[in-house]
Amino acid sequence: MKILTLLIALSLTLFAEDILDTIDRKLTPVSAQMYKKLINIEPDGSKKEFLLFQAKKDKDKMVSLFLEPDSEKGRATLRLGDNMWLYIPNVGRPLRITSMQSVVGGVFNNADIMRLDFSTEYSIETQEEKDDFILLNLRAKNDTVSYDKLIMQVDKKSLTPIQIECYTSTKMLIKTLYYKKLTNFGDKIVRPAVVETMSPMYKGYKSIMIYGKIIPKDFPDEAFTLDALANASDLRR
């Protein structure tokens, strides 16, 4: 009986991890290039927009290049696992940044903008079947992850997120992410094209992330180094 119980527990764990891996692949190929527009909306209705090109490789590497506005053009960020850097033209060297900071301001932080696979940073604690969605409680694998806990609603048909609540280790809600507008990007990529977020910590503020293109593409490892960050525009070729 003990052996049977252990086998059932193991199979449920593996099944849960498979779901998280599936969600990751539904959202982004293992290696890909993509374009994103970020829009920050302030309480008075004013907006600031950014256009980014991103290159992702494997589960732990990402480069972001600012294309617009002109004041930000040429800036680039690099993420390697939990480590992040910002390159600014005419500055001598890339600067270390943290996951909870934001290179664009607004409600999205750097970890949101340079999102790695969920399965890289989180494990599933519980899984519950609802009428229209699957409810996942995720726990961070270590204390360097931006959010200690995520409560994720996953659409049963598309196996993509509907809503994600992000919490601290003290169970304080930091923000909620809303995934909208399920879109076919081609190459069997069908995922929400819009992610909106609001936070009780930034009342009246709202940030929106819009995916324009997502294309599977492999990149050399040397493209994801500090030395290559100044030439991030070469990745678009």
User: Residue 23: what pLDDT?
Assistant: 97
The per-type count for the chain, helices as H runs and strands as E runs, is 3, 13
- State what percent of residues in the chain have pLDDT above 90: 88
Identity of residue 30: V
Residue 41 confidence (pLDDT) above 90: yes
User: Residue 5: what pLDDT?
Assistant: 38
Tell me how many domains the chain contains: 1
What's the rounded Cα separation, in Å, for the pair 100 and 140? Answer: 15
Range of the domain at 28: 2-236
| More confident position, 90 or 112 | 112
pLDDT digits (tens, 9 = 90+) for 185-228: 999 999 999 999 999 999 999 999 999 999 999 999 999 999 99
- State what percent of residues in the chain have pLDDT above 70: 93
Residue 10 confidence (pLDDT) above 70: no
Phi-psi region of 163 (alpha: psi -120 to 50; beta: other; left: phi over 0): beta
Tally the C-alpha atoms within 13 A of residue 93's C-alpha that lie toward its C-beta: 2
Residue 122 confidence (pLDDT) above 70: yes
Q: Is the dihedral of CA 186, 188, 190, 193 positive or negative?
A: negative
Cβ atoms of 27 and 191 within 8 Å: the answer is yes
The count of other CB atoms within 10 Å of the CB of residue 34 is: 21
Residue 1 confidence (pLDDT) above 60: no
| More confident position, 11 or 21 | 21
Whichever domain contains 231, its CATH number is 2.50.20.10
Confidence of residue 11 (pLDDT cuts 50, 70, 90): very low
Does pTM surpass 0.75? yes
Mean pLDDT over the full length of the chain: 92
Peptide bond into 69 cis (omega under 30): yes
Confidence of residue 18 (pLDDT cuts 50, 70, 90): confident
User: Residue 14: what pLDDT?
Assistant: 39
